[in-house]
Amino acid sequence: MQKPAQSPGPHQISKLPIWAIYLLIAGLAGLLLSFKVPALNAPDEAYHFQRAFSLSELVLLPNETTTLPRAVLEFPAQQKLNAQDRLPHAFYQLNSSPLMYLPQFLGVSAARLFTNNISLIFTVGRLSNLFFWLGITSLAIKLIPTLKLSLAGFLLLPMALFLAATYSYDSISNSLAILIFALILHHRFNPDSVLKTRDYLVLGLLFFLIGQTGKTNLLPALLLVIVPTERFGTKQKKILAVLGFLAITWVSMASWQWIVEQQLGRQMVLHNPHNLDPIVQIKAILAKPWSVISIIWTSIRMNYLYYFQTLVGVFGRLSQYLPAWFYWLWALGFMLLVAGDSLYPNRIGPWERVLSLLIGIASVAMVFIALYILYTPLQEAWAWGVQGRYFIPLIPLFILAVARQHAPTRLSRSVAYLGFGLLCACLGLNLLHFL
């Protein structure tokens, strides 16, 4: 007697696991973007490429005497690399450590072993960045015990793939933050999980690397609080672990900034267009701490649409917008996906939801505060330089905060699949923009 056909489980669509479906879709989209996006047509891509190339020459900390081949500085006009023809390095992208350029560095270095064609070297560096993103995010989807479809759908975000397929350290910081989120939920919901030395080392390394980005996604380490005490062994070990990982993150961030400042001076660390002194900015905020709320609210009220658009996708050098209906179609797909997907059979309590929400809100606030301190003229009413792409690693916190916990029904599955399909359609429409 023939067995009746079984419906897909919660972690698969058709016969393929969700992580494999994501890898297939994101991989094809990323490859297209890597080859079709014009060279240096992504945010700060010229500077990131120059930094990756200088690292391939083992220059960890460029300074005013650093030179690069003319072909690199004049790319894409120059097509052949002539190492003897060198010019001063015009820009120093130092707010993140060399570790944030590891994939691009490996790609550029490997390509230089076989060719002096600067265009080919550039493309291999892009592909290395893409493969790192695909590997880490696919691993995160595979490891996370719940909300796999929501995470996979969100990671098909056009802006995230655009950054991954070009030169950017955002793809590294974003993917590592997503992996940390997945690991925390893995330990939270896996009843057989007991943190061993290996787990502490892995998490410690990830938090260290997050700190090296120099970005403000530091608070998510607090989400470790939702991991049951028995996973750590004792309450004291849990407290020490949470505080220890927070310390690792903050010390890692401060250490690189200190190294750069000691070697090159404070202005090289800041590299802002207004020559602002962050100490003065901080003192102004401390004098009127409640002004922070006003600054954040004013920034959101003035620029909420821009933040949403630069989260979903604004391309080129943040000048190529898609039609307005595209952004609202993506929002509809995302809301349907989150509404239909479910934590079930896993459950979290109200306090865990509130904690995830508060960490997300506080992390968003830190983005505004950091950019107000570093890039905004004193006494300005809103924070300059904030972009939606800075919030990419924080969105999973909000997904967790609102995720439904009821057993999936045929209707809820259909809603989730419809949302996922709309997000895939948005990605496809986005790719047409580059064809």
For the chain, counts of helices (H) and of strands (E):
18, 4
- Chain centre distance of CA 342: 24
In this prediction, the residues of the chain whose per-residue pLDDT falls under 50 are 1-7, 266-270
Can you give the pLDDT at residue 166? Answer: 96
Can you give the pLDDT at residue 287? Answer: 81
pTM of the complete model = 0.92
Secondary structure percentages of the chain, helix, strand, coil, to 5 = 65, 5, 30
Can you give the pLDDT at residue 361? Answer: 94
Can you give the pLDDT at residue 65? Answer: 79
How many beta carbons lie within 10 A of that of residue 207, not counting itself? 25
Angle between helices 18-36 and 118-143 (to 10 degrees): 160
Can you give the pLDDT at residue 28? Answer: 97
Torsion, CA 57, CA 60, CA 66, CA 70, rounded to 10: 40
Task: Give the span between the Cα atoms of 119 and 19, in whole angstroms.
Answer: 32
Task: Give the span between the Cα atoms of 70 and 116, in whole angstroms.
Answer: 13
Torsion, CA 53, CA 54, CA 55, CA 56, rounded to 10: 50
Can you give the pLDDT at residue 270? Answer: 46
φ, ψ of residue 89 to 5 degrees: the values are -70, 125
Q: For 140-158, give one letter per residue: b (16+ CB within 10 A) or e.
A: bbbbbbbbbbbbbbbbbbb
Angle between helices 102-112 and 45-56 (to 10 degrees): 60
Looking at this protein, which amino acid is placed at residue 108?
V
Tell me the per-residue pLDDT of 33-81, one tens digit each, with 9 for 90 and over: 999 999 999 998 998 999 999 999 998 877 777 889 988 988 998 888 8
Closest CA to 19 of 169, 178, 158, 201: 178
How many beta carbons lie within 10 A of that of residue 195, not counting itself? 18
Indicate the burial class of 47 (C-beta count within 10 angstroms; 0-12, 13-18, 19 or more).
Answer: middle
